[in-house]
Structure 1
């Protein structure tokens, strides 16, 4: 795909994939963390586990009264890394967080080879495009992000903190306005003049 599906053809393909996802009821969740500003989840031991637990929290909330399961891409470091990852996931789910008890999962996190799952590849597309937008790399991502935004979970009329979480909110809440068009974050009007990015998404 890297060599043969390029330029406008790749953009068209990604948009068609995301359109199919929307038509079939897919809901996207992305958590992004600035690892230099500490962990959102005190019990998380790494930045990677921090964003995973934040995502699990939002998945649990999205389930409502339903139950569900989590399938993650198999770590690339072999069985040892996979075992450590699954143990960390089990410990996090058993412990819960101050917001979520994780009582709706039918099993612990399971893994699957990335190449074997179209849904894992779709999730990777949603996360990579969203992360590029947050990082300010919008030249390509900006052409696909509107289709991503359509499937990001909303609550109370906002996506920020719900379908797209950027930690810490104190530093990055205004990006919810510039990237997503959210008019509010919790009870505050966006943009918040006293926080970073008060004028646009590029000026800290």
Structure 2
């Protein structure tokens, strides 16, 4: 199993070792032992799964303290552009954006520490996404950043006229106007 640094402290790309032959493939999508051997120790409490069609943009979401979540994201079907924004005040990458394509084909996963806003766009006809979290959802602690914040200049790789968003995601404040309580 391979862990790749992203240049954002605590944000890791995980590439599992895939064993394939003419019958198909096998891989460990998660092993606490492998993560712990790399200094990454989490107690995941819930798996979430979502299915969406092309053009759906979900995010940018987070949960405030003490309910902030670490997430491990992967695509079970299709391809997504996974996007995070570092909201940890004092971080060298505070306010910076990181994105990566996660797909059923490349089997990459993104480990997102607490203190990041997270979202994704669907780049294929359909995508099914699964992610682990280390804290349960707490509605009163949810927050977000406007997906189209001009200061962040995120290219979701979906034309604006084809984006499908929830009403809630259209109303979040910009990064600068947000009230983030995360510290590095």
TM-score (norm 1): 0.25
Where relative contact order (Cα < 8 A, 6+ residues apart) is larger, the structure is 2
Q: Greater Rg, structure 1 or structure 2?
A: 1
TM-score by length of 2: 0.27
Compare the two structures and name the one with the higher helix fraction: 1
